[in-house]
Amino acid sequence: MKHFSILVPVTSYLYILLFVYAGFSKLLDYENFTVQLAQSPLLSAYAGVVAPAVICMEFMLSLLLIFRKTRLTGLYGSFFLMIAFTIYIYLILNYSDFVPCSCGGIIEKLNWTEHMIFNITFVILALLAIAFSEKEKHTRKHMVLLKTSLPSLLAAGVVVGLFLSSEHIIKKENNFIRRFGQHSLRDEKALDLGVNSYYFAGIAYGQIYLGNYTAPLVLTSVDTSLTTKVPAKLELDDTDLPFRSIRIQIETPYFYVYDGNIPIIYRGKLGDSHAHTISFEDCYFSQLQVIDSINFAFRAQSRSTKSQVLGRLSLNREPKVTLNYGLLEKQIDGMFDTDGKLLRDNSTGELAYIYSYRNEILVMNKELQLLQKLHTIDTISHAQVQVRRLSDGRHKLGAPPLQVNKTALLYKQVLFNESMLMGKFESRKAWQQAAIVDMYSTGRQEYLGSFYIYHRGENKMSQMLATDNYLFVLRGSEIVRYRFAQAVTANFKTGEAENPKQSKQEF
């Protein structure tokens, strides 16, 4: 029994050492500690509250453990806090969508499993010290059991409650806190294309197809292993037109060449360089997405309202063109404030429109019927655009607008969006070094997480393209391949797109 008498002070001193060191480590790098909590899969929504609370508890418990009269209270508090930390790690390892990096204080070199063992050791020490102290006070065993069980259950309840509510807030009611998963992308490989004027035209038969802004009738194929590059010159059946902005798009088994300023659409078969006119003067458009060989979704300016509108071109129908005036919502002028990107999910057929200057995403079916109206996690719901009306009736921007969303991609009901806004608890240095891509599930209508695409010198990401396993990025004169982690690909929807009733949801 005598050798057990040192258990209580030794355990108390170990906890004091742990809490004081950890508390001061967090204080000295408070911003980084808060960022780490914000990236936690369990506590993201409460990082601003939990960070100071944990530090205060660690210092307060250290004071209680110093003095003999308050030591038992300090041991119970330490037992409660360490139980909470242990439950937290257990939930991360078993129920989290992703496992963040393991970091912080005295145990920063340990992985999550080693953290668990470390914490369990301290839980056992605290429990033994409590039992010995209570025995000296002649406390009955069932009271000791009750007094240790209640903190355990309370700690577990608090952590589980924070986990469940934080998950709902982050995924459905986000107040602009990002989660950066551990190693969402890996295995980087790059191919130098020689010039920086390429754009993604599409992917088919294991080949990535690239268009070129400066050589508009050259279609270049690159194999997905990024080893070979083969250019091909396309031939159109009518080139005697004042082209202004020729673009190429791939939709197996065809390639399409178009210029909405003319307007004209050509179609040719992959493997054959000849393309023939399939639509001429049916409609003008500023953006086009191929639905199938005879159906197209487009964005144009309405002659009647002078606002931007989404429409559908069907070559086998009369009338060929149908416009859906109710999709793009005017906030200021209907032109600049509705600017954005028209996207198509080639795997499910879904269409989406993501605004450039506000946090809204429209999800539509092939007939341009609205399925959901979703929101990104930032708070810009109204476009911050200043528009000046000129004497000739034209509109011009009076000042640079606040851009919310830049380039985007829709693949298997996961929307990848390059955001231009910094979230809470994020490093400004990281924003200077990388593009931030947020992921959303259009089917489950929730935010999935974020990852970095790092710049290479002055070269930044300009466009993305996805496959089942890889993300391809154009960055300067390079095409770069990243492998998706399983945590990302697990969100890909297989089969046909869901067709929920029209609704308004928010991530």
Contact between 79 and 99 under an 8 Å Cβ cutoff? The reply is no
Tell me the two tokens of residue 377. 């996690």
CA separation, residue 152 to residues 76, 87, 129, 155 (Å): 10, 10, 16, 5
CA distance 493 to 9: 57
Tell me the pTM: 0.72
Residue with tokens 């700690």: 155
CA separation, residue 361 to residues 95, 328, 342, 436 (Å): 29, 10, 10, 18
Pick one of 2.30.30.30, 3.40.50.720, 2.40.50.140, 2.120.10.30 as the CATH number of 185-504: 2.120.10.30
Residue with tokens 């300023």: 261
3-state SS, one letter per residue, for 376-444: CCCCCCCCCCCEEECCCCCEEECCCCCCCEEEEEEECCEEEEEECCCCCCCCHHHHHHEEEEEEEECCC
CA distance 37 to 318: 57
Tell me the two tokens of residue 387. 């528009």
Contact between 335 and 306 under an 8 Å Cβ cutoff? The reply is yes
CA distance 499 to 36: 38
Of the candidates 484, 500, 504, 311, the one whose C-alpha atom is nearest the C-alpha of residue 411 is: 484
Check residue 495 and give its pLDDT.
Answer: 57
Contact between 255 and 210 under an 8 Å Cβ cutoff? The reply is no
* Rama region for 261: left / alpha / beta (φ>0; ψ in -120 to 50; rest): alpha
Of the candidates 224, 211, 225, the one whose C-alpha atom is nearest the C-alpha of residue 255 is: 211
Show the CA angle centred on residue 376, arms to residues 370 and 377, nearest 5°.
150
CA distance 222 to 479: 9
Check residue 15 and give its pLDDT.
Answer: 93
Burial class (CB in 10 A: 0-12, 13-18, 19+), 232: middle
CA distance 351 to 364: 5
CA distance 151 to 244: 71
Burial class (CB in 10 A: 0-12, 13-18, 19+), 433: exposed
Q: Which residue ranges does the chain devote to CATH 2.120.10.30?
A: 185-504
Q: Residue 282 carries which side chain, given as an amino acid letter?
A: D
**Strand pairing partners for 203?**
208
CA distance 275 to 284: 20
Cα-based torsion angle of the residue sequence 424, 425, 431, 437 in order, rounded to the nearest 10 degrees:
-60
Pairing of strands 254-259, 264-269: antiparallel
Cα-based torsion angle of the residue sequence 364, 369, 372, 373 in order, rounded to the nearest 10 degrees:
90
Check residue 256 and give its pLDDT.
Answer: 98
Tell me the two tokens of residue 131. 């039992």
Of the candidates 185, 200, 186, the one whose C-alpha atom is nearest the C-alpha of residue 475 is: 200
Check residue 505 and give its pLDDT.
Answer: 41
The CA radius of gyration of the chain, in Å to the nearest whole number, is 29
Check residue 461 and give its pLDDT.
Answer: 96
- Helical (H) or strand (E) element with 161: helix 141-172
Contact between 412 and 348 under an 8 Å Cβ cutoff? The reply is yes
pLDDT in tens, the chain (507 residues): 455 568 889 999 999 999 998 888 888 878 777 766 766 656 666 777 888 888 999 999 999 999 989 999 999 999 999 998 888 888 877 776 555 554 444 456 677 788 888 989 999 999 999 888 888 887 787 787 888 888 788 888 888 887 777 665 555 555 678 888 777 888 789 999 999 999 999 999 999 999 999 999 999 999 999 999 999 999 999 888 999 999 999 999 999 999 999 999 999 999 999 999 999 999 999 999 999 999 999 999 988 888 999 999 999 999 999 999 999 999 988 889 999 999 999 888 999 999 999 999 999 999 999 999 999 999 889 998 877 776 666 667 766 788 999 999 999 999 999 999 888 778 778 888 999 999 999 988 899 999 999 998 889 999 999 999 999 999 999 999 999 999 899 999 875 544 444 444 444
